Chain A
Amino acid sequence: MSGPPQPDPPEGVEALAAEYVLGLLTEPELRHFETLLVRDAGLRQEVASWQACFAALTADIPEAAPPEDLWPRIEARLHGPVRAALWRQLLPYLLGAVAAAGIAWAALVSDVLTPGSAGPELQARLVAAAQGIALRADYAPRGHSLTVTRESGEVPVDRALELWLLSDSAGAPISLGVLGGEAVTSLALAPALRAQLPGATLAISEEPPSGSATGRPSGPVIALGQLAPL
């Protein structure tokens, strides 16, 4: 392996592989080596072995906790600042949270349309299995209001459930109101909101009694359901 002294690098591709891993090749050498690498699986294995060997040199380097704000900076670099269509970015998290909590959610789908110019009646079912709460949301176009009926379960003491609208046209979740201890809550909707209801998703989050103070869901999202024609 160690040949006689030579003016030029004497040890062949194994040494080149190590120098490649160390970043010590000159530009032409690097280009040449990378063409070799593409067609030589053995050489790629050589590179992998050097990676592992050198990585072991870091064994005695102590861990150091990065500052708290570093993770948000990484997320911002990858996913951009939090802005319009927030709920689209949030939805996988919401769904993940819902699934992780073992909560089933049901989107009631029906193609039976109510005749009439006011548009169809819409309904969504929101089931928070872990909390044992099942809700039904009904929208009757003529009444301009969304009626939320708690079909089973109790709202936790000192907590409230807040209902949110996630729609394609809205940038962020829109609070539709806070559900207190009553079994039936009627929420009046502004015209701009009514137009967004068909196909929109409703979400329930657990909040302080007066609702989220931030304008966004601040507690866990425990149920999701899609508004579909009844």
Chain B
Amino acid sequence: MASSPHPDLEDLIARVAMADRAAFARLYERTSAKLFGVCLRVLQDRPLAEEALQDTYVKVWNNAGSYRVNGYSPMTWLITLARNAAVDRRRRSDAGRAVQPIELDHRLADPAPGPAQQAEARDEVQALALCMDELPPERAEMVRRAYIEGASYAELAAATGVKLNTVRTWLRRSLMSLRDCLSR
């Protein structure tokens, strides 16, 4: 595996925290394609994804100083900001969006390993893929929807056709199974 890009990104974020606009521009060059991909996946709408990406980098600029104390890897931090910005936009703009049903026989596609820069260490991605595979497919799909689409419990209930409290219990159990699996 190529050497980790993280030290560079951490350095750039540290300089952004000191209001270094040139470093901010470089950070954008290095990371915006990945984060725009995330925004597009969450929102399924280009103009909204563009707004969400702007929100993301405004937060990066304003919050870079708190990055280090959080203990995240830089890509985790950036992806989290992008996902949350996109989910915020989505929840504000199209609460009435049609819900795609989750079918019981839905198989998860194998998450293909992305380019090294795209995600956390490959090991982590593969461990997660294996642990997601251990979940019943519809439960894994609920986890993905909750994160990638920012689906609410109400939406997950609508997608699965079960009651909201049941859906919540399912999801929490699935998350705990995931946690157990990942800590093995």
Contacts and interface: CB of A to CB of B under 8 A. Distances in A.
Contact of B73 (A1, A19, A52, A74): A52
Given A1-B180, A18-B175, A60 B33 contact: no
Interface in A39-80: 44-45, 48, 51-67, 70-71, 73-75, 77-79
Interface in A65-107: 65-67, 70-71, 73-75, 77-79, 92-93, 96
Question: Interface SS of chain A: helix, strand, loop or mixed?
Answer: helix
A15 interface: yes
Given A15-B175, A18-B179, A48 B71 contact: yes
B33 A65 contact: yes
B178 interface: yes
Contact of A64 (B22, B40, B70, B83): B40
Given A53-B182, A55-B80, A66-B33, A23 B50 contact: no
Contacts of A215: none
B152 A24 contact: yes
Interface size class of A (residues with CB under 8 A): 35 or more
B30 to A, nearest CB: 11
A93 B21 contact: yes
A57 B165 contact: no
B140 to A, nearest CB: 10
A9 interface: yes
Contacts of B176: 1-2, 11, 14-15
Question: Interface SS of chain B: helix, strand, loop or mixed?
Answer: helix
Given A1-B176, A10-B172, A53 B148 contact: no
Contacts of A60: 109, 111-112, 114
Interface string A1-23: 11001010111001100110111
B75 interface: yes
Given A1-B180, A45-B71, A59-B111, A53 B128 contact: yes
Contact of B120 (A52, A73, A75): A52
A79 B115 CA distance: 33
Contact of B173 (A2, A55, A73): A2
A55 B58 contact: no
A57 B160 CA distance: 21
A70 B54 contact: yes
Contacts of B33: 63-66
A70 B53 contact: yes
A10 B40 CA distance: 34
A23 B87 contact: yes
Interface string B162-184: 00010011011101111110100
A64 B143 CA distance: 24
Contacts of A22: 146-147, 150
Contacts of A62: 37, 114
Given A19-B172, A78-B58, 6 more contacts: A2-B176, A23-B87, A58-B34, A58-B118, A70-B32, A74-B54
17 contacts: A5-B169, A9-B168, A22-B146, A22-B147, A24-B168, A51-B76, A55-B120, A56-B125, A58-B38, A61-B34, A62-B114, A63-B118, A65-B33, A65-B36, A71-B32, A74-B58, A75-B21
